[in-house]
Structure 1
């Protein structure tokens, strides 16, 4: 049997250790648990050592497994850099990009942007997953992702695309809107929010004035688009990202309330593994995205 490392099996082994179980790793890699288990077993057979000690309830790396795990990230990273470089000739953009973006951002903006990109660069194919979490770019095979800040310290590289804010909106016929003058008046209205809301209340700013309002919506939904639709249907007031709210305000389906107040600005970034991982196709996509999102 040859002694070349199977990188797919190596990625599977590393993911099992990171996730703490074969079941969780199989979900992350989107493969059947039986397939992942066989890949790791084949890797152990290929190397002639046991890499993972298994019991009915836990698993841990053996001494040999720990040695391999410390080198796996570098090996997988170098292999990914090579893969990204393939298919490009003379710096001309071609090949495949696998990316991720938050659901609200992707649903509202990326359809038109990517259609225009494909018209300009027909030799580049795109696969964009909408994830409301930060993916592990190397482990999950992503070339890059769009992220809301702030970002944690990381060896990854980030390019700021624009700043985003949330604004308070309601249906134009919501009863009592004419009585809403100050943030403290919000307590008289039903509110709608995300199923996972930021801790500490709703922070609102008006110039140098900051207030924090209690924020415990009786209706919480899994995406900003669902929150938007509930507000349009008259469920109450919500803080929606401007990219979601502005198109509805323009059509008259929503109105902005307390227009002098908004949430603190948050930067939106494009994140990729390293400066060395930027291919011609990724570079032109980031530039194309930044051009479409350029702030006035």
Structure 2
């Protein structure tokens, strides 16, 4: 038996501990549960020790598993830096990029942006996943991701791309729109929101004046695009990101509600694991992304 450590098995083991179960880890890594179980079992057989104690309801690392887990992040991080550096010479962008973006940006913008990038850099291949959660970049093998701020403190590096802002919108045919003159009037009409609620109510600003509207929509959906479709169908008012709302307003499918009032601006960032992880291809993509998005 050789002494090489299988990095995919190590990544699987570390993800199982972080997610708390094989099922959740398999979902995060996008592999079948049976494949993940075999990887961890093979790792245990290779090392000759038990790494995880399993029961019907819980799992926990053994003493040997805790020793390996403490070193896994550094090993996986170094391996990822090596992977990113391979295939590039003289700073010429080439190789593969694996990225994650929110669905609202992915479904509305990323196709055109990615096509433009490929025209400029044909030696770089792109793989873009649409995720509304914050991925673990190292664990899941992503070179970087787009995130809405504010960001939590971490060892990761972030570059601000632009400021985004949600807009209150509704179908032009929604009854009662002509009676909405102040934020307090919004309580008279139904809202559509995300399944993950807006914490603490909906803040609205008009110059120096700010109010917070209770926000408990009777209809909550899993993505901004589903919320948009519900609003187009007359289900109520929603606070949609400008990148989703503006094309529909321009086409006359939606109207802006209380246009003098706006939600606070939020920064949108591109996040990557560390300054050392930036390859020529990643730097080229971030620069291209920043040029295409601009700022509003």
TM-score bucket (shorter structure): over 0.9
Runs of 4+ in 1 over 4 A off after TM superposition: none
Query: What is the CA distance between 1:294 and its match in structure 2?
Result: 1.3
Alignment correspondent of 1:61: 61
1:271 aligns with 2:268: no
Question: 1:136 maps to what in 2?
Answer: 136
Q: Which position in structure 1 is the counterpart of 2:15? A: 15
Q: Which residue of 2 aligns with 1:213?
A: 213
Deviations 1:170-222 (A, max 9, x none): 12232332221100111111221112221221111111111011222222222
- Alignment partners' CA distance in 1, 2:219 and 2:59: 40
Give 1:125's aligned residue: 125
Counterpart-to-counterpart distance in 2, 1:14 and 1:84: 21
Partners in 1 of 2:153 and 2:197 — Cα distance? 23
Q: Which shows bigger deviation, 2-11 or 166-175?
A: 166-175
Whether the aligned pair in 1 keeps the contact of 2:198 and 2:215 (CA below 8 Å) is no
> Which structure 2 residues correspond to residues 42-191 of structure 1 after superposition, within 5 A?
42-191=42-191
Distance 1:33 1:226, change over 3 A: closer
8 Å CA contact 2:93–2:284 kept in 1: the answer is: yes
CA distance in 2, matches of 1:220, 1:17: 32
Deviation at 1:281, TM superposition (A): 0.5
Runs of 5+ consecutive residues of structure 2 not aligned to the other structure:
none
Deviations 1:124-144 (A, max 9, x none): 111111111000001111000
Displacement of 1:233: 2.2
Where does residue 294 of structure 1 map in the other structure? 294
Secondary structure class of the residue paired with 2:178: helix
Shift of 1:102: 0.6
C-alpha distance in structure 2 between counterparts of 1:22 and 1:172, whole Å: 48
**Residue 229, structure 1, aligned to residue 237, structure 2:** no
CA deviations on 1:156-181 (whole Å, 9 max, x unpaired) are: 00000001111111122323322211
Tell me which residue corresponds to 2:247. 247
TM-score (norm 2): 0.97
CA 221–23 in structure 1, closer or farther in 2 if over 3 Å, else same = closer
Q: Distance in 1 between matches of 2:209 and 2:199?
A: 20
| Structure 1 residue runs without a partner (length 5+) | none
* TM-score, L = length of structure 1: 0.97
User: Could you say what secondary structure the match of 2:169 adopts?
Assistant: strand
SS of the residue 1:174 aligns to: coil
Superposition pairs for residues 274-285 of structure 1, below 5 Å?
274-285=274-285
Structure 2 distance, partners of 1:121, 1:137, is 23
C-alpha RMSD of matched pairs (Å): 1.2
